[in-house]
Amino acid sequence: MPTREQKETTIQELEGIFERAQVAIVTDYRGLTVKEITDLRRRLQKVGGELTVAKNTLVDRVTRGNDSWKAIEPLLAGPTALAIGFEDPVAAAKVVADFAKEKRKVEIKVRGGVLEGKALDAEGVKALASMPSKEVLLSRLLGSLQSPAQKLASALSGGSRNLVYALDAVRREKESA
């Protein structure tokens, strides 16, 4: 049984986690071995995330006063593991979704989550996981921004290019005559 001091320490740690987090995905970890939980933790750490197992009452106590995280309260029932994404919310959701697909023999249920103060159900977390990563979206945006400039440069250089071809054709004609 944790002492009052241990609970206060856990609450302070959770407050720090929720201050930095962009997304929190609530999962049920029953049936997972310690090795599998450690594997999930390492995968989340690689993408700038964290897996936290805490008592629901302590998580509820931390999130109750915070409007951004109030939506997590209905998801806190039974054994709960929180997959937290600090840098890229899509990456954290992908790690959890991929892990759940790999471990079909073990029932790892995604109950839902919270993304920037908005509640997500299990389908919402799946949709978040299916989104392209931040890097892919930024590269697509950059490509979209560059495309008109490239087309304009090509169109503007087309006239001068045609003039050069015409002058070259006249030069060849005069040389052959």
Clarify whether residues 115 and 31 are in a common domain: yes
Clarify whether residues 113 and 170 are in a common domain: no
3-class DSSP state of 84: strand
- From its phi and psi, is residue 61 left (phi > 0), alpha (psi between -120 and 50) or beta? alpha
User: pLDDT tens across 25-40, in order?
Assistant: 988 888 888 888 899 8
Clarify whether residues 81 and 43 are in a common domain: yes
Order the strands of the 81-85 sheet from edge to edge: 49-53, 81-85, 23-28, 109-115, 118-121
Write the DSSP symbol of residue 35: H
With a CB cutoff of 8 Å and minimum separation 6, the contacts of 69 are 18, 24, 62, 63, 114, 117
Clarify whether residues 20 and 101 are in a common domain: yes
- Amino acid letter, residue 43: R
Name the most confidently modeled range: 1-5, 68-72, 77-81, 148-152.
Answer: 77-81
| Number of structural domains found in the chain | 2
Clarify whether residues 72 and 145 are in a common domain: no
User: pLDDT tens across 145-175, in order?
Assistant: 777 777 777 777 777 777 788 888 888 888 8
Domain that includes residue 57, residue range: 4-131
Clarify whether residues 75 and 11 are in a common domain: yes
Give the domain CATH number at 116.
Answer: 3.30.70.1730
Q: What Å distances lie between residue 149 and 79, 137, 153, 155, 163, CA to CA?
A: 54, 19, 6, 10, 22
Average pLDDT rounded to a whole number, residues 67-96: 85
